[in-house]
A and B are shown apart, each in its own frame.
Chain A
């Protein structure tokens, strides 16, 4: 792959080389610095500062620069994954916003899709409150048809009247969503002009800029969420830039988007909702990269934290994307890494119900009070306590700085689970783990079938603090041949930032009836999208050799309500490429859903252009060749296995070298995670420090 570093507007000095990734989490801010000249990686962890996350961001940068003994001028780029927009949406704490919409459609958000969620109760479910109340929604006359033709001119007087009312309410951010604006945004743009002239300094989000595709509820919600997070995110981005300058860094600040690509701070200011899944996207990118280093092109990654597990598939070299994602209860139709979250993690609480059933989660002890073994006030046994009770974890974590209370875990499992069910502590603890593992297996299967895949064709990449404890069991239950434990399972998101590229997506709905494709119109729209893509690459200062612009189309069978996205064949639009694209759709449909309907007409629904600026892949530091395994042996302890209790070795991963081999049962510790190697499993360490673990004779 040829690539050259983008010469961004705010160019770093010619000698700059270091790349810094900062991932702000709920508790800690992880910072990773890669120095390609020395091939060294430096990690720093600093407490997050939720009142102003930019402080933790700045502390982290300062700390890692000091650790690497580098100056601000040595930094080539700063990459950041943020949960600011995510939290604003999840907690409903965005700025008060107004919405301007087409006459007659004030209640689109309120009505939603008029359903009660499939697994909820018709009687008990309570419809969640919308992010903008109807009294802050203003209707204006004017109508565009689904083909883009103007049916009724825009009532500009009504827009001006709405602007005055909005000013009167003191609202400082406005979403504009007009019916069929995806087909023709002229009215929306005009509304934007009027609002900008009458309300200087007020943030404006036009749906044609945020998400130019059909389905008014999803487009409205995405645009409205963009408007509600915009003031806060804009302020945050400004503070970040300030902090970067304070460190004497002249390199560009790039932020991770939900789609797994980074973009400039300026782009984020315009479309902040694109960062709604910023943190998990960075993790997915990191996981994909680790998989690639190992030549594994099909990965299922599972990020297991304290309260939840995030599952996603990587088919090829990149995380799969979806345009049907949700943040909290709300649909966000922008391309985002296709991640499914379930309420299963290390802190998930185990309980016996009145009916005598054993349940695990979704209730979690979280970080506070946390599992019983942390000794911070937790009393009910969690998944982590089950591991501790079985001897899966060493008694000391974090290089010996943190002691686990093994007896407290065992006592809690005994009191709350084993005694009521008349089981041994070990059987109860194994039961807890079986249940949580099976919960995750079910979710992985559903995620796979929805994407037409069979988990057995994949490698499992577990990460997050608890991922490597469960990876081995999950892979066995799913019949997967191997698991890949990345070098830093707890800091994979920060690592993902280091290896990410600039990326932006441009989409437009353009309904083309089957057998009646308006080739000229499709060509024109692709040309427009391509121009937008290139303009964005210009604004990011990406030189031509580093540019990758790819065309896609979303298609469906006539009468279907769901589209599939396939690459457009070639870069011209004619009958041949159209037919080739339709053929690709048939094949994808067959792979995903077991059948194609070649006899059914295919409709083109949305055109998409994906623009990228590709950074040169950073050289990854390599491990020294492995020494004797005994060099890594730091202790041993009793593990209660189903086949009986036995003494198992504890290895320090930091002492592993390239080509190291080890056998289960074993415990492998490192600062940010513990890996459980099951009896019968065999592991090897690759030259980048990844551990490949599989059943003996298979891996």
Chain B
């Protein structure tokens, strides 16, 4: 977006003001998120916590956002319809238009609410909330389905609209929106929660601007510069000059197309960092297309490099770390309207893995191994009394092992929680039969990849339809530096019964009936380092706790156990003397390069 820099941006500000502003921004964000968390209604928000709050400066640059590597020009699309100089205090804007926002929103259920913030009568910043609403119409309950072939099937599209003018809400727009949902009561609650949070952010950011006046903009600038400087320094320290290529693979688009390749090249010269993804495969008929904002790869680098650093914030400064990102219109990373986007999570997660892959190529295996894409499955139907129900259950997966630690077991994402089994049993016509760790799904390595999990339920409704979203079955998450690839996920109906059947990992329309058992296993993360270098005691502990089988201990780690309870030292020594040769990456087999 194009706006003039406010003249006061040049005003110097002192380190004390910067630190106070930093603390205040974080507190404002937390306050806003507290409002959303405690008042929203969609299970996606209230239990799974698929929301965040963010703050922007007067030019629409992100100052404080989520710890998820998300990026995009949030304010620009609004300014195209409502020029900044027409905005007034009390205005509130709203959209979910993916193509209209060039990927600032990347699938339609995510609703963005934005309030401009004024200080001394001048536009001085923006407060934003972002939350995934349960159902906004579309082809199937929950709005998202692997079956979709265009974005119109994925629910109502809201272009940037002014939902409130000077504090007066345009109720007609909301009525139109609610009427398009199968669960109007829920999205009504979500809308109110989102708007209340943004209003609070507007008030708080306004107070901050009032208190520090001109120095606030300078503090914002400092916070952005600081993140850029810090990320750049860490990037340069880790990544030598050179040109690096990495390819990662998505199984399928759910419509018989695939595998789909993400082909990246990273060029690092003394004065320029370029990421080229133009060789990636074409967009697909199925909804795995990811309308990627060019800032996202840089955000991933920054999130990875900044780690648990308490100081620098993941903001617009991070996006500047890569000088240029080249994307090809018509590719799976830059689909053309109206290609469907509902399953873009698969590609988003593979993009994250491919970005880590680039770091591993550049550092010869000193970064993190790959993870599985998180799993979401829907169970839809009618209860015995005819009431419509919709379960959208996000399941954790294994994350990649790291040069300093095992990968995390059974994690979904930052700040996104599961449904307790007791909650599912109470609210949905099903009985949970198991919620366990998917043994052996973590890739073997000096550091083990995280394990996925297993959710098993029995259907208690007369009939229900399953929508399944699992990737990384044919192409499991890779291991690095000698670490092995992870195990895959799958979905089985009636395991061990004569009518046992597998459900296509990316599919919809799967009918199950009362008494059917559905077992979903999620994939793991890749291992890091040679498995023979893992301490036998750690391998034994994994076997005892059920994360690794005795067979895998023997075959993958070269550790022989007696009765699964103690290490056979002699046998282990012999096994480990015969050390397999390894290469930089592993998927199916070791290789220096994945294709």
Contacts from A to B (Cβ < 8 Å) = 103-108, 110-127, 133-135, 143, 145-146, 151, 179-180, 182, 214-217, 352-353, 355-360, 362, 421, 423, 430-431, 434-435, 438-439, 441-443, 445-446, 449-450, 511, 557-562, 592-595, 597, 600
Contacts and interface: CB of A to CB of B under 8 A. Distances in A.
B15 interface: yes
A216 B422 CA distance: 6
B174 interface: no
Contacts of B432: 104, 179
Given A146-B425, A179-B421, A214-B422, A110 B437 contact: yes
Nearest to B314: A121
A115 B24 contact: no
B229 A355 contact: yes
22 contacts: A104-B436, A107-B410, A110-B409, A111-B409, A111-B435, A111-B437, A114-B410, A115-B412, A122-B399, A123-B307, A124-B402, A134-B546, A135-B544, A214-B420, A214-B423, A355-B311, A358-B19, A431-B15, A435-B20, A438-B23, A561-B43, A561-B423
A407 to B, nearest CB: 24
A558 B186 CA distance: 9
B33 A358 contact: no
B589 interface: no
Top-9 shortest CB links A-B: A442-B27, A104-B434, A124-B307, A431-B16, A561-B46, A114-B396, A118-B415, A134-B545, A358-B15
Interface string B398-428: 0100100110111111111110111101100
Interface in B1-39: 14-16, 18-20, 22-24, 26-27, 30-31, 33-35, 37-39
A443 B24 CA distance: 9
A111 B230 contact: no
A338 to B, nearest CB: 13
B552 to A, nearest CB: 16
B131 interface: no
Residue in B19, B40, B43, B229 with the greatest tally of chain A CB atoms within 10 Å: B19
Contact of B226 (A357, A421, A560): A357
B200 interface: yes
Residue in B222, B414, B432 with the greatest tally of chain A CB atoms within 10 Å: B414
B192 interface: yes
A560 B46 contact: yes
B453 interface: yes
Contacts of A105: 421, 434-436
Contacts of B410: 107, 110-112, 114
A217 to B, nearest CB: 6
B304 interface: yes
A511 B39 contact: no
Interface of B: 14-16, 18-20, 22-24, 26-27, 30-31, 33-35, 37-43, 46-47, 49, 67-69, 183, 185-186, 188-189, 192-193, 196, 200, 204, 222, 226, 229-230, 303-304, 306-308, 310-312, 368, 395-396, 399, 402, 405-406, 408-418, 420-423, 425-426, 431-437, 453, 456, 541, 544-547
Contacts of B416: 114-115
Nearest to B415: A118
Contacts of B411: 114-116, 122, 127
Given A561-B47, A594-B39, 15 more contacts: A106-B436, A111-B396, A119-B67, A121-B67, A121-B306, A151-B431, A179-B422, A214-B420, A357-B22, A423-B14, A445-B27, A557-B189, A562-B46, A593-B35, A600-B189
Contacts of B23: 435, 438-439, 442
B303 A121 contact: yes
- The A interface is mostly helix, strand or loop, or mixed, namely loop
A118 B37 CA distance: 12
Contacts of B402: 123-124
Given A115-B49, A215-B422, A125 B408 contact: yes
A511 B426 contact: yes
Nearest to B352: A122
B196 A595 contact: yes
Given A107-B436, A133-B545, A357-B226, A558 B185 contact: yes
Contact of A359 (B188, B311, B545): B311
B217 to A, nearest CB: 17
A180 B421 CA distance: 9
A107 B310 contact: no
Given A111-B435, A134-B546, A214-B422, A355 B226 contact: yes
B34 A359 contact: no
Nearest to B42: A559
A450 B15 contact: no
A597 B189 contact: yes
Contacts of B409: 110-111, 127
A446 B53 CA distance: 14
Contacts of B434: 103-105
Residue in B23, B39, B41, B545 with the greatest tally of chain A CB atoms within 10 Å: B23
Contacts of B193: 593
Nearest to B421: A216
A108 B27 contact: no
A508 to B, nearest CB: 14
A123 B304 contact: yes
B14 A431 contact: yes
A113 B418 contact: yes
B336 to A, nearest CB: 30
B43 A559 contact: yes
Residue in B186, B426, B434 with the greatest tally of chain A CB atoms within 10 Å: B426
Nearest to B196: A594
Contact of A114 (B24, B417, B426): B417
A208 to B, nearest CB: 13
B185 A559 contact: yes
A143 to B, nearest CB: 8
A513 to B, nearest CB: 10
Contacts of A593: 35, 38-39, 193, 196
A331 B593 CA distance: 44
B16 A116 contact: no
A441 B26 CA distance: 12
Contacts of A560: 40-41, 46, 189
B429 to A, nearest CB: 11
B39 A434 contact: no
Nearest to B19: A435
Contacts of B308: 120-121, 124-125
Contacts of A449: 31, 34-35, 200
B18 to A, nearest CB: 6
Given A123-B304, A355-B229, A600-B189, A446 B27 contact: yes
B405 A126 contact: yes
Given A117-B415, A118-B414, A359-B19, A111 B453 contact: yes
A215 B420 contact: yes
A114 B19 contact: no
Residue in B67, B307, B422 with the greatest tally of chain A CB atoms within 10 Å: B422
Nearest to B438: A107
Given A133-B545, A135-B545, A593-B35, A438 B24 contact: yes
A315 B43 CA distance: 30
Contacts of A123: 303-304, 307, 368, 402
Contacts of A216: 420-422
Residue in A116, A352, A593 with the greatest tally of chain B CB atoms within 10 Å: A116
B41 A355 contact: no
B534 to A, nearest CB: 16
Contact of B39 (A114, A558, A595): A595
B15 A357 contact: yes
A217 B310 CA distance: 29
A356 B15 contact: yes
Contacts of B415: 115-118
A121 B426 CA distance: 33
B38 A122 contact: no
A561 B51 CA distance: 15
A107 B453 contact: yes
A646 B308 CA distance: 44
